[in-house]
Amino acid sequence: MRNSDKSERISLGTIRHVRAVLACKSVKVAAEQLGVSQPAVSQQIARFERLSGISIISRNGNSFSVRSDAVAGLIATIVEAENSLRGIARASEKTKPRLGLCDYVAARYCHAIDHYLELGQEYEIHVGRPSSLAEMFGRGELDVAVRPLFHHESTPELMAEVPLVWVGASESWTRGDGDRSKPIPVVLETSQSPYTYYAERLLDEARTPYTILARVDDNMVRSHFLTAGLGCAAIPKFILCSMPGKAAKLPRIPNMAPVRFGVFHNSKTIPFKAAETIFAKLNDGIFAPAGA
Q: Residue 149 carries which DSSP code? A: P
pLDDT band for position 174 (cuts 50, 70, 90): confident
Reported confidence tier of residue 62, pLDDT bands at 50, 70, 90: low
Does one domain contain both 62 and 179? no
Report pLDDT for 260.
Answer: 93
Which of 21, 47, 78 delimits the end of a domain?
Answer: 78
The confidence band for 2, taking pLDDT boundaries of 50, 70 and 90, is very low
Q: What is the mean pLDDT of the chain?
A: 81
Question: What confidence tier does 153 reach under pLDDT thresholds 50, 70, 90?
Answer: confident
Instruction: Report if residue 156 sits inside a domain.
Output: yes
Does the pLDDT at position 146 exceed 90?
yes
Is residue 48 located within the same domain as residue 141? no
Q: What is the pLDDT of residue 15?
A: 81
In a domain, 88, yes or no: no
Q: What is the pLDDT of residue 111?
A: 79
Burial of 61 (0-12, 13-18, 19+ CB in 10 A): exposed
Over 50: is that where the pLDDT of 264 sits?
yes
pLDDT over 80 (residue 95): no
- Please list the helix, strand and coil fractions of the chain in percent, rounded to the nearest 5, in that order: 45, 20, 35
Residue 216 maps to a domain: yes
Instruction: Please give the pLDDT value at position 292.
Output: 43
pLDDT of residue 87 exceeding 70:
no
Question: Do 118 and 258 reside in the same domain of the chain?
Answer: yes
- Give mean pLDDT, residues 254-275: 89
Domain-ending residue, one of 78, 109, 135 = 78
Same domain, 169 and 240: yes
Residues 190 and 292 in one domain: yes
Looking at the fold, whether 100 and 222 belong to one and the same domain comes out as yes
68 with 94: CB under 8 angstroms?
Answer: no
Whether 167 and 200 map to the same domain: the answer is yes
pLDDT level of residue 159 (50, 70, 90 thresholds): very high
Identify the band that residue 59 occupies on the pLDDT scale cut at 50, 70 and 90: low
Residue 218 lies inside a defined structural domain of this protein = yes
- Mean predicted confidence (pLDDT) in 196-212: 88
Least confident of 73-82, 195-204, 211-220: 73-82
Write the DSSP string, 55-123.
--EEEETTEEEES-HHHHHHHHHHHHHHHHHHHHHHHHHTPPPEEEEEHHHHHHGGGSHHHHHHHHHHS
109's CB contacts (< 8 A; 6+ apart) are 101, 115, 116, 285, 286
Residue 111 lies in a domain: yes
Q: Is 40:31 a contact under the CB 8 Å cutoff?
A: yes
Stated as kind and residue range, the H or E segment containing 145 is strand 144-148
Q: Are residues 237 and 181 in the same domain?
A: yes
What is the structure's pLDDT at 160? 92
User: What CA–CA distance (Å, rounded) separates 52 from 72?
Assistant: 13
Split at pLDDT 50, 70, 90, the class of 1 is: very low
* Burial class (CB within 10 angstroms; exposed 0-12, middle 13-18, buried 19+) of 64: middle
Residues 70 and 112 in one domain: no
| pLDDT of 161 | 92
Q: Which of 218, 198, 188, 206 is nearest to 153 (CA)?
A: 198
Determine, yes or no, domain membership for 132. yes
Q: Which of 18, 46, 78 finishes a domain?
A: 78
Positive or negative, the CA dihedral 23, 28, 34, 38 is positive
Concatenated DSSP letters for 150-216?
PTTSPPPSSEEEEEEEEEE--HHHHSS-S-TTSPEEEEEPPTTSTTHHHHHHHHHHTT--EEEEEE-
What's the pLDDT tens digit per position in 124-134?
999 999 988 98
In a domain, 90, yes or no: no
CATH of residue 114's domain is 3.40.190.290
Taking each helix axis from N to C end, the angle separating 12-24 and 69-93, rounded to the nearest 10 degrees, works out to 120
At residue 291, does pLDDT exceed 50?
no
Q: What is the pLDDT of residue 142?
A: 92
Instruction: Find out whether 256 and 163 touch, Cβ atoms under 8 Å.
Output: yes
**What local confidence, expressed as pLDDT, does residue 179 receive?**
67
Q: Are residues 132 and 244 in the same domain?
A: yes
Count of domains for the chain:
2
Residues 219 and 145 in one domain: yes
Say if 140 falls within a structural domain.
yes
Nearest residue to 256 via CA among 209, 205, 207, 208: 205
Q: What residues make up the domain containing 30?
A: 9-78
Q: Residues 227, 126: one domain?
A: yes
Partners of 164 in the beta sheet? Answer: 236, 257
290: confidence class by pLDDT, cuts 50, 70, 90: very low
